[in-house]
A and B are shown apart, each in its own frame.
Chain A
Amino acid sequence: MTRGITRRTALAAGAGLLAAPPLVREANAQSAFDWKRFAGQRIEVSLTANPRSQILIQNQREFEDMTGIRVGAEAIPEQQHRQKFAIEFASGRPSFDVVGISLHVNKRQVGKARWCTDIRALMADPAITAPDFDFADFGAGAVAYSTQSDGRMDTLPEFTDYFILYYNKELLAAQNVAPPATYDEMYESARRLNDSRRQIYGNVGRGLRNANVVLWSSFLLGTQQRDCINAERQLITDTPDAIWAGEFYKKLLRDCSPPGVSGFNWNESQTTFMQGRAAFWLDGVGFAAPLEDRARSRVAGKVGYAVVPRGPAHHHCAMFGTGFGIAEASQKKGPAWLYLQWATNKTNQLRFLTSGAGSPARTSPYRNEEAISQSRFSREFFATLVESARISRPGLPEIVPVTEFRDTIGAALTSTIGGADVATELKRATDAFRPVLEQSERAG
């Protein structure tokens, strides 16, 4: 039995016809996006040497085949890379079109000098922004980190690094100790697990000047004060909360960490933890990959991951991040923008996550069940990342002289491991750095 055309069918067909033009336009936009519009050009990309840059460089052929743009990429160790791009930017003629920037160190410097272009205009241009770019997929925290105080967005977020708590499951289980929920619990457990005669320590962490500030600021984030500068952009690193964080830092590193910890950076801490010599290690999630490498690590398969413990007033983990910027002086902003879209696309971001190279700035990789189930990392690791993203807060103040800040406060913290009085050291360091910050703020 056949039915004739009803009124309802006719109305539906009519509505379909009316809706067709926008749908077709959208479909055309999807299929017609011209990745090849800059074919034949060449761009220079300057990156910091790390596992994420390695992934991008290894896969850059994808981008070259898709766009016809040749890429000259370099990956330089972090410290040297920061110097290189700052000097090249200051010269007015940077040799690169795209640059990787550590936002926790260089964000304000790059922003004040306006070295990188505001990418909002590029992002708003459908002719050069792929329809599947999906900006909404980037985490709100990462986007905020990439945005300058005046609203300019001069980097596209690449990676957000959270401080998490690594723990040795075997050592904790042997003493029937649960992962700590508060900093006080962490200290008590670390003391309990500390057995210096067997060279097993309750904790290991950064004691080296400069590097150690982010550990102290992690503790500070748990206090009422939370930050190192106040709303008036004045330094508040000698307050009772700052001193509490300093005292906690001192007792944790002095009482239950290995001898010589005052010279430890993340790499010495990582080595100690990998050798099964420490129960707790609070550091960046980007350092997770070697821990699960059975060829190099004695704790592979025994590492527990947890969000950082709660402080006396708040529960935050320190967040750090990197982004890609396009040099304002670049003559190839179009090709560079295509590179940024490719470098931060969902595929590359998923590669970061599943290889343990770091936590991506996009949120979709965390929802990719298939990829997560195939990863060598446990579900606990991914759950920790998601929860850390929820409680994250910048671990360093957004100021130009960040490195000097870290050196000055860091030297004071290192002295406390040797037994110096926390309040005195922080007061001295604060007095020394305050004029530097004030001068920097006046200049800006």
Chain B
Amino acid sequence: MAGSTTTLDGAAAGTTPRRRRNYARQYWWFVVPCGAVVLGTIVFPWVFTLYMSLHDYHLGGGQTFAGLDNYRKLIADERFLFSIIRTLYFTALAVVIPMVLGLLAALAFHRKFPMRGLARTVFILPMMATPVAVALVWTMMFHPQLGVLNWLLQQVGLPPSLWVYSPDTVIPTLVMVEVWHWTPLVMLILLGGLASLPVDPYEAAKIDGATPVQAFWHITLPLLAPFLVVALIIRTIDALKAFDTIYVITQGGPGTASETINIFLYLQAFAYYNLGYASAVVVVFFAIIILLAMVLLWTRARVRNA
């Protein structure tokens, strides 16, 4: 049956050698639509933003080439530099606190107790609310004279606070809103992680006489690490992006006390119509985000390897 044997290699089969068809070249056509979308929605805006950042362009005015002037101005712009510090401060608090509280909540909700399902549902309710609506409600509650929060403080004998109406307390107060809103997300991620952990290590540890605290430090935490990293990445991205709640509650005030990079960028682009300068802010902000993302991804790789 040698004659009926088919082989891909014509030469080996003694038939006339044929050119190998390069199917990859044909497959490229399938990539074109997707590539066009990526070019149009990601690459082009980025190239255009870079281009704009090299120009002095005010909406309604002329456009002139400015070279790196916008970047030089940024380096010397105290308001921008402080907005970076505020962003990092806000992000650090808005990541660490929900991570800790989310972990504690996940551990609590992982245990079995009466009406656990209802308690879980109530806990995740804030996450479902629209950020702008949440921000408006909190704004009313923060009013120093008429807000319910100061009334509650007075009921338990504590002095009233100025909340978002003081430069000293505005960032921690905004973080409080962020924590209330997004701790449930961290809890959900970690609760999923806890549910997937194997029971064998715990049984072995129990036989060896490990205390619950030791079991938590030496078993739960290392096994939960990949989930913690995922939660950390999501929270960091969210906190860096935070805009709606801050803008609605304080618009960056009092003064510039809560002006993060996003607020600064928004004002430059859509209040001052200074599009060239705003584009330079976008480029610098993007560089910061890339740097943070690399650190987080490096952390994730290390956790995975460990």
With a cutoff of 8 Å between Cβ atoms, the chain A residues found around residue B51 in the complex are: none
Interface segment, one of B2-10, B199-207, B265-273: B265-273
SS of A interface (majority): helix
- B87 on the interface (CB 8 Å rule)? no
* A104-115 interface bits toward B, Cβ cutoff 8 Å, 1 = contact, 0 = none: 000001101101
- Contact of A209 with B58 at beta-carbon distance under 8 Å, contacts A260-B144, A260-B166, A262-B166 already known: no
- B209 on the interface (CB 8 Å rule)? no
Contact in complex: A87, B253 (CB < 8 Å): no
Contact in complex: B60, A404 (CB < 8 Å): no
- Contact of A209 with B252 at beta-carbon distance under 8 Å, contacts A272-B146, A401-B272 already known: yes
- Contact of A411 with B255 at beta-carbon distance under 8 Å, contacts A86-B59, A260-B165, A272-B145 already known: yes
Contact in complex: A87, B59 (CB < 8 Å): yes
* A259-297 interface bits toward B, Cβ cutoff 8 Å, 1 = contact, 0 = none: 111111000100110010100000000000000000000
- Contact of A415 with B271 at beta-carbon distance under 8 Å, contacts A262-B167, A264-B165, A277-B145 already known: no
With a cutoff of 8 Å between Cβ atoms, the chain B residues found around residue A231 in the complex are: none
Chain B nearest CB from A394 CB (Å) reads 20
With a cutoff of 8 Å between Cβ atoms, the chain B residues found around residue A417 in the complex are: 254
Chain B minimum-CB-distance residue to A420 = B255
Which residues of chain A from 372 to 417 have any CB-CB distance to chain B below 8 Å in the complex? 400-401, 403-404, 407, 411, 414-415, 417
Contact in complex: B144, A258 (CB < 8 Å): yes
Contact in complex: B60, A90 (CB < 8 Å): yes
With a cutoff of 8 Å between Cβ atoms, the chain B residues found around residue A361 in the complex are: none
- A175 on the interface (CB 8 Å rule)? no
In the complex, A400 Cα to B58 Cα: how many Å? 10
Q: How many residues of A contact B (CB 8 A)?
A: 41
With a cutoff of 8 Å between Cβ atoms, the chain B residues found around residue A261 in the complex are: 165
| B143 interface neighbour in A110, A210, A271, A444, Cβ under 8 Å | A271
In the complex, A277 Cα to B143 Cα: how many Å? 13
Contact in complex: A86, B273 (CB < 8 Å): yes
Contact in complex: B250, A263 (CB < 8 Å): yes
With a cutoff of 8 Å between Cβ atoms, the chain A residues found around residue B267 in the complex are: 403, 407
Range of interface residues on B (Cβ < 8 Å) = 20 to 34
Contact in complex: B60, A258 (CB < 8 Å): no
Chain B minimum-CB-distance residue to A209 = B253
Chain B nearest CB from A100 CB (Å) reads 17
- Contact of A86 with B162 at beta-carbon distance under 8 Å, contacts A262-B167, A403-B271 already known: no
In the complex, A260 Cα to B166 Cα: how many Å? 6
- Contact of A86 with B255 at beta-carbon distance under 8 Å, contacts A262-B166, A271-B143, A401-B272 already known: no
- B91 on the interface (CB 8 Å rule)? no
In the complex, A79 Cα to B270 Cα: how many Å? 9
With a cutoff of 8 Å between Cβ atoms, the chain B residues found around residue A407 in the complex are: 267, 271-272
Contact in complex: A208, B251 (CB < 8 Å): yes
With a cutoff of 8 Å between Cβ atoms, the chain A residues found around residue B59 in the complex are: 86-87, 90
- B198 on the interface (CB 8 Å rule)? no
* A406-444 interface bits toward B, Cβ cutoff 8 Å, 1 = contact, 0 = none: 010001001101100000000000000000000010011
In the complex, A404 Cα to B252 Cα: how many Å? 14
- A207 on the interface (CB 8 Å rule)? yes
Q: Which of B62, B164, B166, B251 has the most CB of A within 10 A?
A: B251
List 12 contacting pairs A-B, 8 Å CB cutoff, sorted by A. A79-B271, A83-B271, A208-B254, A259-B144, A260-B143, A260-B144, A263-B162, A263-B164, A275-B145, A277-B145, A403-B267, A403-B271
Residues of A within 8 A of B (CB): 79, 83, 86-87, 89-90, 109-110, 112-113, 115, 199, 207-210, 258-264, 268, 271-272, 275, 277, 400-401, 403-404, 407, 411, 414-415, 417-418, 440, 443-444
Residues of B within 8 A of A (CB): 58-62, 143-146, 160, 162-167, 170, 250-256, 267, 270-274
Query: Beyond A263-B166, A263-B254: 15 further Cβ-contacts under 8 Å?
Result: A86-B59, A89-B60, A209-B253, A209-B256, A261-B165, A262-B254, A263-B253, A272-B146, A400-B58, A400-B60, A403-B267, A403-B272, A407-B271, A443-B61, A444-B61
